[in-house]
């Protein structure tokens, strides 16, 4: 039985009124609690592309002086190391699974052979290990890695299994962008905790509906950190590694900053903005100039409120405090031209496929099962289908160019749609916000659709043959079945 979102919401309201006395249970778990911004911002250690990762139970101080039980890829750390490689390098990563359930690694945004992509069924059993080995054919950019086992992705990512991959290339090198201490990865995530500070991943049906949100915003694994800065331009490599929270990033003094790159590397030209919407899975490469600030100035990287969806965006909150500490003189000027993008012409596409992502199913609610600790309901669908490992939904010719249309025109929820195995260009957005924002004008692998929006993307598939997935990167939606398979033949 198919039904409208309104009906489903009333069904939820009913369930909620039975299970809770609170007037607005949605807001209780989505309202952010700021901290005091007294922990120095850490940066995960960097490694080259040759190393071992061990998925394990461990602890980290996410909150000042409090040890939280988390999952990590290394002992004592919620996030894995930042892997820094050059285009053309061979990455060779051994994953040891010391969890009590299957896991694997998906290299989000990297174009790798199907058997290295961390397909949801291609998992490493507890106690076992797997060698990921592939050549990095990507242009420079910020990519990331996280688990992708069917039904466990959301939980494992939320509990701490994720890390950044920075790919460098000659083109970027020539620009002399801020580097060393002036290039700072910022992995932004929201967390929910138990009374003993351990991370809490216990989604209710409500959470599956909206996506799991936490009231504590962390950056690089710690809550409410601060960073001392010098009076110069910084390059922030921002990853929204949250399960479902969308951020409308900006600075608390309204300062403009420059967007120079997106999911798949540099844009053609920098674009100055004062806010930037970043959905789960998306990355933004931004330049922030602190050169005119007085010593002692404090300002925040913050989330501005935003409209377009009813489940998020109501609250403004601070994420990371900057304290201007040291006067230095540099003469960095943002280059006028950053890169050239070979635009894929719409008429070079041999096929157009449409993915309707507005549909909700009520029937799923009657056959709720438990997958990886979350409530699997099958409410979120693509083209009226929930993920089925035994069904190949689309067959794509290797090397072909296609237009994919993500259609949320009658939808009531935001969905950041992600495709494995390719980088795409966004042709247009109709409905909702209409145009493209700064970070959508380059190569992308994840694109946000707010309710009412339809987006066309164009991409040329690689010659990596085999099975890949496309899915909503709201990880609760994804584990709920909002994922399809496609085979490159």
The entry of Cu ion, ligand C2O, none that residue 281 binds, CB within 5 to 8 Å by partner kind? ligand C2O
Ranges within 102-131 binding Cu ion (CB under 5 A): 108
Site membership for ligand C2O, residue 471 (CB under 6 A): yes
- Binds ligand C2O (CB under 6 A): choice among 230, 420, 444, 454: 420
* Residue 421 makes contact with ligand C2O by CB under 6 A: no
Token pair for 73: 């890829």
Instruction: Tell the smallest beta-carbon distance from residue 11 to ligand C2O (Å).
Output: 29
212 bridge partner residues = none
Q: Which residue in the set 139, 223, 415, 444 belongs to the binding site for Cu ion (CB under 5 A)?
A: 415
Q: Which of ligand C2O, Cu ion, none sits in contact with 148, Cβ below 5 to 8 A by type? A: ligand C2O
Least separation in angstroms between CB 477 and Cu ion: 3
Nearest-approach distance from CB 415 to Cu ion, in angstroms: 3
**Strand order across the 351-356 sheet:** 351-356, 401-407, 454-460, 425-430
- Chain-centre distance for alpha carbon 9: 26
| 472 is an interface residue for Cu ion by CB under 5 A | yes
Q: What is the DSSP string of 149-161?
A: -TTTHHHHHHHT-
Binding residue for ligand C2O, selected from 91, 108, 143, 262, defined by CB under 6 A: 108
* CB burial readout 402-416, b (16+ within 10 A) else e: bbbebbbbebbbbbb
Nearest to 179 by CA among 17, 4, 330: 330
- Region binding ligand C2O by CB under 6 A among candidate stretches 133-141, 350-358, 370-378, 468-476: 468-476
Dump the DSSP string for 189-217. EEE-B-TTS-B-----HHHHHH----SEE
Residue 477 interacts with Cu ion (CB under 5 A)?
yes
User: Parallel, antiparallel, or unpaired: how do β-strands 454-460 and 369-371 relate?
Assistant: unpaired
| β-pair partners for 61 | none
Shortest CB 272 distance to ligand C2O, Å = 29
A 10 A CB-CB count for 193 gives 18
The single residue among 70, 105, 106, 285 that binds ligand C2O, judged by CB under 6 A, is 106
Q: Which does 471 bind (CB under 5 to 8 A by kind): Cu ion, ligand C2O, none?
A: ligand C2O
Helix (H, G, I), strand (E, B) or coil at 306: coil
Give the span between the Cα atoms of 396 and 169, in whole angstroms. Answer: 29
Q: How far is CA 189 from CA 163, 237, 241, 358, 359, in A?
A: 12, 14, 5, 26, 28
CB of 213 to ligand C2O, least distance (A): 18
Candidates 38-46, 264-272, 319-327, 466-474: pick the segment binding ligand C2O (CB under 6 A): 466-474
- Residue window 266-285: x/- pattern of binding to ligand C2O, with contact defined by CB under 6 A: ---------------x----
Piece of 201-209, 309-317, 420-428, 449-457 that binds Cu ion (CB under 5 A): 420-428
**Per-residue contact string for residues 118-147; x = within reach of ligand C2O by CB under 6 A:** ----------------------------x-
385 binds Cu ion (CB under 5 A): no
Cα atoms found within 13 Å of the Cα of residue 69, Cβ hemisphere only? 7
User: How does strand 66-72 pair with strand 50-63?
Assistant: antiparallel
Residues in touch with Cu ion (CB under 5 A):
108, 415, 420, 472, 474, 477
Residues contributing to the site for ligand C2O (CB under 6 A): 106, 108, 146, 148, 281, 418, 420, 469, 471, 473
């Amino acid at each position: 039985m198919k039904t409208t979102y309104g009906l489903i919401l009333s069904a939820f309201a009913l369930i909620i009124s039975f299970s809770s006395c609170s007037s607005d249970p949605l807001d209780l778990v989505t309202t952010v609690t700021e901290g005091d911004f007294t922990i120095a911002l850490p940066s995960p250690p960097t490694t080259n592309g040759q190393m071992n990762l061990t998925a394990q139970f461990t602890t980290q101080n996410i909150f000042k002086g409090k040890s939280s039980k988390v999952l990590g890829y290394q002992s004592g750390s919620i996030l894995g190391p930042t892997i820094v490689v050059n285009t053309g390098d061979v990455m060779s990563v051994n994953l040891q699974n010391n969890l009590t359930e299957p896991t694997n690694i998906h290299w989000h945004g990297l174009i790798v052979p199907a058997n290295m992509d961390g397909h949801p069924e291609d998992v490493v059993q507890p106690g076992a290990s797997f060698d990921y080995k592939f050549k990095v054919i990507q242009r420079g950019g910020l990519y990331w890695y996280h688990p992708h086992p069917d039904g466990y992705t959301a939980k494992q990512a939320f509990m701490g299994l994720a890390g950044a991959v920075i790919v460098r290339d000659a083109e970027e090198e020539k620009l002399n962008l801020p580097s060393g201490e002036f290039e700072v990865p910022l992995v932004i995530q929201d967390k929910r905790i138990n009374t003993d500070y351990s991370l809490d991943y216990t989604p209710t049906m409500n959470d599956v509906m909206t996506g799991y949100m936490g009231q504590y915003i962390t950056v690089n694994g710690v809550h409410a950190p601060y960073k001392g800065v010098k009076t110069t331009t910084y390059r922030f490599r921002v990853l929204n590694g949250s399960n479902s929270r969308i951020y409308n990033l900006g600075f608390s003094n309204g300062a403009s900053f420059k967007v120079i790159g997106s999911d798949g590397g540099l844009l053609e030209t920098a674009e100055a903005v004062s806010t930037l919407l970043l959905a789960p899975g998306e990355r933004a490469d931004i330049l922030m100039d602190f050169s005119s600030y007085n010593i002692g100035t404090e300002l925040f990287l913050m989330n501005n409120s935003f409209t377009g969806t009813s489940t998020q965006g109501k609250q403004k909150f601070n994420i990371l405090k900057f304290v201007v500490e040291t006067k230095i003189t540099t003469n960095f000027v943002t280059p006028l031209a950053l890169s050239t993008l070979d635009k894929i012409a719409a008429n070079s596409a041999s096929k157009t496929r449409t993915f309707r992502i507005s549909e909700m199913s009520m029937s799923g609610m009657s056959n709720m099962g438990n997958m990886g600790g979350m409530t699997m309901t099958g409410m979120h669908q693509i083209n009226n289908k929930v993920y089925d490992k035994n069904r190949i939904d689309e067959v794509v010719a290797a090397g072909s160019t296609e237009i994919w249309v993500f259609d949320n025109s009658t939808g009531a929820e935001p969905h950041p749609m992600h495709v494995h195995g390719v980088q795409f260009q966004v042709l247009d957005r109709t409905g909702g916000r209409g145009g493209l924002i700064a970070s959508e004008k380059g190569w992308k692998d994840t694109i946000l659709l707010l309710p009412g929006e339809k987006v066309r993307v164009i991409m040329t598939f690689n010659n990596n043959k085999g099975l890949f997935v496309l899915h909503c990167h709201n990880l609760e939606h994804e584990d709920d079945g909002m994922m399809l398979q496609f085979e490159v033949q």
